[in-house]
Amino acid sequence: MNSFFFSQRWLVVAGISMIVLGVAMSLFNGTALFQSINRPIDFVFWAGGDVPEAARNFQRWAYSVWGASIAGWGVFATFIAYYPFKNRERWAWNCFVVGVALWYLFDTGLSLWWGVGVNAAFNTILLVCLGLPLAMTRKYFYGASD
């Protein structure tokens, strides 16, 4: 398997992973499954991590709709990676690069602004996971003469 098809399949798996994570986040964000994710964020905004019940309910709602958004974007990413990216349509590569860059800059910048370094670190790991296959496939969309 050459590097293009490996990277293309990697992006498909990343998209499917986004769908699974988003659905899980929507349905199970208030459970023990997500406590290890929520606790570091809770400590940033509430001393000792003791979140008032009204705020906890708001948090559950916000994480539910956030998860739904992640799942929806995962569907887009999966379809783009599976069809037009696989067919080496330049717009698909551009869409991934611009979308990932915009997400990373805003999400990470705002996370750092609000002091949620754990999210910035997680974003950086995701950036590497998405950026590597994009960097590895650039030559298939933009040849040496472009």
Distance (Å, whole) CA 21 – CA 27: 10
Residue 1, pLDDT > 80, answer no
CA-derived radius of gyration, the chain: 18
Residues 54-90: tens digit of each pLDDT = 999 999 999 999 999 999 999 999 999 999 999 999 9
Burial of 44 (0-12, 13-18, 19+ CB in 10 A): middle
**Quick check: 138 and 93 in contact, CB under 8 A?**
yes
DSSP-assigned letters across all residues of 42-79: HHHHSGGG---HHHHHHHHHHHHHHHHHHHHHHHHHHH
The mean pLDDT value for 22-33 works out to 94
Residues 81-136: tens digit of each pLDDT = 999 999 999 999 999 999 999 999 999 999 999 999 999 999 999 999 999 999 99
